[in-house]
Amino acid sequence: MSAPTESQTRSAAEAGGLYAEVQQFYARHMHLLDEGAAELWAESFTQDASFSVPTLPAPVVGRAGLSAAVRRSAAALVEAGEQHRHWPGVFDVVPQQDGSVIVHSYTTVFATVRGGESRVHRVCTCTDVLVREGGSLLVRSRRVDRDDLR
What is the C-alpha separation between 83 and 87, in angstroms, rounded? 13
Rule CB under 8 A: which of 2-61 touch its own copies?
2-4, 8-21, 23-24, 26-28, 30-31
Residue 139 contacts residue 130 (beta carbons within 8 Å): yes
Residue type, 59: P
Residue 70 contacts residue 36 (beta carbons within 8 Å): yes
Q: How many residues bind its own copies (CB under 8 A)?
A: 62
Query: Of 65, 112, 143, 144, which lies in the binding site for its own copies, with binding defined by CB under 8 A?
Result: 112
Q: Does 77 bind its own copies (CB under 8 A)?
A: no
On the 0-12 / 13-18 / 19+ scale of CB atoms within 10 A, 49 is buried
What are the residues binding its own copies (CB under 8 A)? 1-4, 8-21, 23-24, 26-28, 30-31, 83, 85, 87-93, 98-100, 104-106, 108, 110, 112-123, 131-133, 135, 147-150
